[in-house]
Each structure stands twice: as structure tokens, then as C-alpha cells.
Amino acid sequence: MCHAICSTAYEKRDKCRSYLYFDEHFLRETGKLKILGYFSIAMKTMKVPIIDTMSNTLRKKLGNISDREQNLVAFLIGQLGRDTRYTQEDLAGKKMLEDCYGLINSARDIVGGRLILLECKPIDKLCNYYESEGFIDITEYADGLKQYIRFFD
């Protein structure tokens, strides 16, 4: 429930745009909306993380897109999720990420940008999934969320 409330508050303040997937079958059967999944996209500024395990190549790549103060601007994929009553067959994570990438690419055509940031809870299944999708773990502090980045080249 927090996700919907948070997204609504951020939407009203123009901090993000939220996207919902509806159960079309349920809508046809009942005339009511039921949310299958959702995600939000925003812009986020962050400091270049200093991580001992970070490769020199990644440090250089991040350094090339940061400003003098080592700030990066990234597209943030936030609150990506599927209702637990639905399965991968109903709404695949890959489909949601592809929809995110499509929207981000449209924004990139207008404003530029090469970096996507994704934050998630430190759940092995989630972390392994995002890493399999090409995201790189850049978590610097254990504040409860893992941070992952992915570049558009």
C-alpha cells in the first residue's frame, strides 16, 4: 500500500511519473480495476560511489559522466513491483523493465543521459535478477537498500 501512496505524493509534486499495469481479464469480468504491477521513473542526482571493489573501468566510466563535484544524474526506476497474487506469467519482470527502458529512451531523446539507477531491498532473488539483467551493484552504504546502475551506451 505504501508504494501507491508514495507514488501518488511524488506524482503530485512532479518528482516522478508512475505507470500501472491492470488486470484486463478482471476488468472485463467485473468492470473494476485491479493493479497487476507498477513502476515509477524519476531523475536522481547522486555522488559517484567510492567502492573498493569497483573496477577501474567502471570508475572511469562514472567519472566521465559526472560533474566537477562528482555528482551523477541518473534515471531512477523506482517502486518496480508486481502484486503477489500474480505470477511471472501474468506480468514478467523483463516486460516491466523493457517498458521502463522504452520510456527512458524517449526522455533520453529529449534531454540526454546514459545512466539508470535502480534501488531495491537486499533480497537475494531480486539482486540476482537485476544483476542478470545487466545492472551493476554499486551499494556503498548498508542503509537498507541496494543500489544498482546500468548504462545506455
Which grid coordinates belong to 4?
501507491
Q: Can you tell me which residue has the cell 548504462?
A: 151
pTM: 0.82
Burial 6-33 (b: 16+ CB within 10 A, else e): bbeebeeeebbebbebebeeeeeeeeee
Q: Which residue has the higher pLDDT, 29 or 5?
A: 29
Q: Cα–Cα–Cα angle for 137, 142, 145, nearest 5°?
A: 65
Quick one: CA dihedral 34, 105, 64, 61, positive or negative? positive
Does residue 134 sit in helix, strand or coil? coil
pLDDT of residue 50: 65
How would residue 5 be classed by pLDDT, with cut points 50, 70 and 90? very low
For the stretch 37-58, pLDDT in tens is 999 999 998 877 665 666 778 7
CATH code of residue 24: 3.40.630.30
Domain that includes residue 90, residue range: 2-151
For the stretch 68-84, pLDDT in tens is 667 788 999 988 999 99
Number of domains the chain contains: 1
